[in-house]
Amino acid sequence: MDPVDLEKLNSLLEHDVGVNEKIKEQVKEFDKKIRIIVGILGKIHSTPSGSMPQLIESVQPVLLSCREITAAIADVIPRDQFWRWKDSWSNSIRAAVFASALIEYLRTGTLISLARVSSEILGIQDEWKDRFSLPVEDYLHGLITMVNELARYSVNAVTLGNFEEPMKISAFVKELFSGFIMLNLKNDSLRRRFDSLKYDLKKVEEVVYDVSLRKLAVPVK
Amino acid sequence: MQATFQQFRDDIDQANDRRERLIKASRDVTNISKKTIFLLHRIVLEDSSDDRALAARAASSARQKLTEANAIFAAMRPELAGDLFWRFQRQVSPGLQEYIEALSFAHYLDPESHGSLISYQQVQDALSDANGPYFPLTTSDYLLGLSDLTGELMRFAISNITRRGGRPKANEICAFVRDCKSDFERFTPHVRDLSKKQYVTASSLEKIETAAYALVVRGSEYDLPPEMLDDLVAQTTSRFGRGDEDHDV
């Protein structure tokens, strides 16, 4: 190979290595934050509903600080190369979606929109579009993790004496499921995780069954 | 919520359809490129007194054939515009690498290029038209495509070895493949799958080396200049090889 050409290729590859290293650094910080957030959210299973607002308040600042990470990553990604590098942080961002969605549910009982996670929580800006965005797949992955967690929460809420919660969760999760079922998913990890949702639904249904049979819950309305 | 998921469905469907279209296009490019490679092998093995003209004809026919692939690439351009390229790069890669293999083989055989390796820029230029590049060429597709070239060169060297002038040619190819292998070595940590291909290159290289060795050892038993050995072999093979035709009768 011509020495000039060899050098050119080498510098192109070195540049990629540089980008990769900078992303890795940020992802490491991202994961640290995620671990703190998931750690705190793990306590919902043992927190009575009265103390839930304080618990959620305590996660909020850490979650919002993830904006620093998204901005730093967007800064190092070369133009049009979002999809080239996105796999490096997809696990972290899915976890961030999970946390945002779970908090939103606990606070308002509703589903957080993709646009809200993306811009209001993670601070992702429209003009980063070709360098950093939140793809539908990652958002959906985060929602499935939330359903997994809510199924567990329905059980533990009952243990804490909150008999209404499983009813709410059941209605919420069923509606979400009816959304998922509209999608034509290809055979990938999202599809496999979607397939496992039915077990979560079943779990919640069983709790609802147990609670209603024993007339523990006061009917809603 | 129904409306939101309806939107997601449209997005996902659109991406999946695009992916399918690109996989098909990539497969078509692979097909054309494979045919081009066979075409090259066929032409350079034709009987001819002028090897240079033969090689030039092979290279130009191959380039002609590859224009079919270029038409497909040109049609892919809107599907890969902007950030779409990296989203679907994995679907485009297989055909593209095969194309680079065929293109680099034609380039190597072309007397105009004096047995050189096609450069990154030359490949990117081949993947362009008046409106600029169809899509960006990645270093990994370039290197992996070239890595496959060594296998074709091995086939070429060995099937060519009994022809007149085949032995110096085989030695030339041997040196060329050896250089490729050592040049690529430094890139292996940065390019996925390159080390696997280096392994294949090593085995191709060994096959050429073994063939070259056998010829030297056998040739040493006759105290004749290489051209006379060529003549000797050519006479014998022509006497048998054309038995079903009427030339010698």
Alpha carbon distance A188, A71 (integer Å): 29
pLDDT of residue B221: 77
Three-state SS for B110?
Answer: coil
Which residue carries 């993830």 as its tokens?
A66
CATH number, domain with residue B177: 1.20.58.2140
Q: What is the pTM of this model?
A: 0.88
State whether A136 and B89 contact (CB < 8 Å): no
How many structural domains comprise chain A?
A: 1
Mention every residue, 6+ apart, whose C-beta is less than 8 A from residue A69: A26, A29, A30, A33
ipTM: 0.89
Whether residue A197 lies inside any domain: the answer is yes
pLDDT 10s digits, B192-244: 899 999 999 999 999 888 888 887 887 777 777 777 777 776 676 666 655 44
Sign for the pseudo-dihedral over CA of A175, A179, A182, A188: negative
Please indicate whether, in this complex, the C-beta atoms of B16 and A186 are within 8 angstroms of each other.
yes
Residue A179 lies in a domain: yes
Residue at B7 is within a domain: no
**B6 with A176: Cβ contact below 8 A:** no
CA atoms of A176 and A109, how far apart (whole Å): 12
A29-88 pLDDT, tens digit each: 999 999 999 999 999 999 998 999 999 999 999 999 999 999 999 999 999 999 999 999
A219 within domain boundaries? no
Q: How far apart are CA B153 and CA B175, in angstroms?
A: 11
B241 falls within a domain: no
Cβ-Cβ contacts under 8 Å, B82 against chain A: 80, 130
Q: What is the pLDDT of residue A214?
A: 86
Q: pLDDT tens digits for A83-101?
A: 999 999 999 999 999 999 9
Query: Which of A9, A112, A127 to probe the B interface (max B CBs under 10 A)?
Result: A9
Which one, of A59, A57, A70, lies nearest residue A119 by Cα? Answer: A70
Residue B39 in 3-state DSSP? helix
Radius of gyration of chain B measured on its C-alpha atoms:
22
Q: Helix and strand tally (H, E) in chain A?
A: 10, 0
Domain that holds residue B224: 12-236
A96 occurs within a structural domain: yes
Distance from C-alpha of A139 to C-alpha of A94, rounded to nearest angstrom: 6
Block residue for tokens 């523990």: A216
Q: Identify the band that residue B247 occupies on the pLDDT scale cut at 50, 70 and 90.
A: very low
Establish if A179 touches chain B: CB-CB under 8 angstroms: yes
Strand intervals (E) in B57-206: 128-129, 132-133
* Torsional sign, CA A142, A145, A151, A153: negative
Mean pLDDT within B75-100: 95
Per-residue pLDDT tens digits for A131-179: 999 999 999 999 999 999 999 999 999 999 999 999 999 999 999 999 9
Q: Structural domain tally of chain B?
A: 1
Instruction: Say yes or no for a CB contact (<8 Å) between A183 and B2.
Output: no
- The model's pLDDT over B179-195, given as tens digits with 9 standing for 90+, comes to 999 999 989 988 889 99
What is the percentage of chain A residues whose pLDDT exceeds 70?
Answer: 98
